[in-house]
Chains A and B, each alone.
Chain A
């Protein structure tokens, strides 16, 4: 199957700082990638659709100014959590693929 990587795998930051998470497709080109968020013992909730070369599409209730998404190339999408707060602490996962979707290993964010 396709390989999706994420970096960093975990990050701890102070409240008010910004955190950037990278999602890379290693063996395929992705015009579209998805960003999900998963709280403990909850399912994956779609946050936004990342479109190469154009603006991301955000799900209802997700603040686009807080969660900045950039998809500047066919192999890289980034999610920046701006002015992070403790309630943003979660597991962030990206996905992409060609014939089906494959998920990255996730990034665990802890905001103190």
Chain B
């Protein structure tokens, strides 16, 4: 079993839809959870960062962490064509500082159709 599982998609939704992206993980030591957005042939861009369980909201994006189920989610409201990208979940046990390597999911390719 891989440490982090993420459905690679592709996921195609109409503009304005609510998008739900998910990851599961097996390492109960993970405490720090991140979502990155990666456009084609570009480096990943940090979207959301959460520590332990709970919700975090930033504009149209909401990140949820359920440590009891080892399950994290990213919701995108009012999706736009510009949201079309690959979304990668990442996590670590030892923190999210610049000194800590991250474990990534495979990424989910999202297409938002106008």
Q: Which residues of chain A have a CB within 8 Å of any CB of chain B?
A: 1-2, 4, 6, 28, 30-34, 41-46, 49, 91, 93, 95-106, 108
Knowing A44-B88, A106-B43 touch, does A100 contact B104 (C-beta < 8 A)? Answer: no
Q: A34 near B104 (CB under 8 angstroms)? A: no
Q: B102 near A101 (CB under 8 angstroms)? A: yes
- Bound state CA distance, A49 and B94, in angstroms? 15
Which of these, B8, B41, B46, contacts A101 with CB under 8 Å? B46
CB distance from B92 to the nearest CB of A (A): 9
Q: How many residues of B contact A (CB 8 A)?
A: 23
- Bound state CA distance, A32 and B102, in angstroms? 13
Q: A105 near B43 (CB under 8 angstroms)? A: yes
- Bound state CA distance, A46 and B96, in angstroms? 15
> What residue in chain B is nearest A36 (Cβ atoms)?
B104
Q: B34 near A100 (CB under 8 angstroms)? A: yes
> What residue in chain A is nearest B44 (Cβ atoms)?
A103
- Give chain B interface residues in 59-100, CB to chain A under 8 Å: 88, 96-100
CB distance from A88 to the nearest CB of B (A): 18
Which of these, B6, B36, B43, B101, contacts A46 with CB under 8 Å? B101
24 A-B pairs within 8 Å (CB atoms) are namely A1-B46, A2-B98, A6-B43, A28-B98, A30-B98, A31-B99, A32-B98, A32-B99, A33-B98, A42-B106, A43-B6, A44-B88, A45-B104, A95-B98, A96-B98, A97-B98, A99-B97, A99-B98, A102-B46, A103-B36, A103-B43, A103-B45, A103-B46, A105-B42
